[in-house]
Amino acid sequence: MANRRTLWYCEAITWDVCPHCAGHFDEATIDTVSVSDYPWFAAIGCESSTLVTFGLRCQRCGVSFRMPAFYYVLTRPPTIAFFHDHDIDYRSLELEYGSYSWTWETIPREDGVPVRLVIDDELLEIELDRTLETRSYRRTARE
């Protein structure tokens, strides 16, 4: 049940809809945090020492929260197709408790953030711009 709620939040947010009041968000802020400050990020497959997060604040109700950038791409079509091609139903992702079937990392850049998802020997990289729109994506063999 908690996983379904997390995916519902992710989907609502990617549509620029507040999951609390259906309002819209102010422009996102992008920050980098240390994974060591948030041990559960390492537990859910983060492969780097830093993590890119987005901060969002609802214009209507004022609720604000911060979420990892990789959550933002989970409901994007390239990600759903990537998981599907590896026999993983994105609706059953182990978001709160981690997964041994896939890993992820985010890399901070001034103009946005690439999110990398890895399954077996394949890599999906989705690049988000500062407005959280998908700038590009590509699938390649993992180096």
Predicted confidence band of residue 98 (pLDDT cuts 50, 70, 90): low
What are 78-90's pLDDT values in tens digits?
Answer: 999 998 999 888 7
Q: Which amino acid is at 70?
A: F
Looking at the structure of the chain, the number of domains it has is 1
- Whether 56 and 17 have beta carbons less than 8 Å apart is answered as no
Q: From residue 105, give the alpha-carbon distance in Å to each of 17, 22, 120, 128.
A: 25, 30, 15, 13
State the chain's maximal CA–CA distance in angstroms: 45
**Does the pLDDT at position 133 exceed 80?**
yes
Beginning with the edge strand found earlier in the chain, give each strand of the sheet holding 134-141 in spatial order: 103-106, 112-119, 122-129, 134-141
Give the residue numbers spanning the domain of 131: 2-141
The pLDDT assigned to 44 comes to 61
CA 132 to mean position of chain CA atoms: 10
Q: From residue 10, give the alpha-carbon distance in Å to each of 7, 37, 64, 118, 143.
A: 5, 23, 14, 20, 29
63: enclosing H helix or E strand? none
More confident residue, 138 or 45: 138
What are 10-66's pLDDT values in tens digits?
Answer: 888 888 999 999 999 998 888 888 877 776 666 665 666 678 888 899 999 999 988
The pLDDT assigned to 48 comes to 65
* Token output for 124: 């999906």
CA distance 103 to 80: 15
CA distance 51 to 70: 9
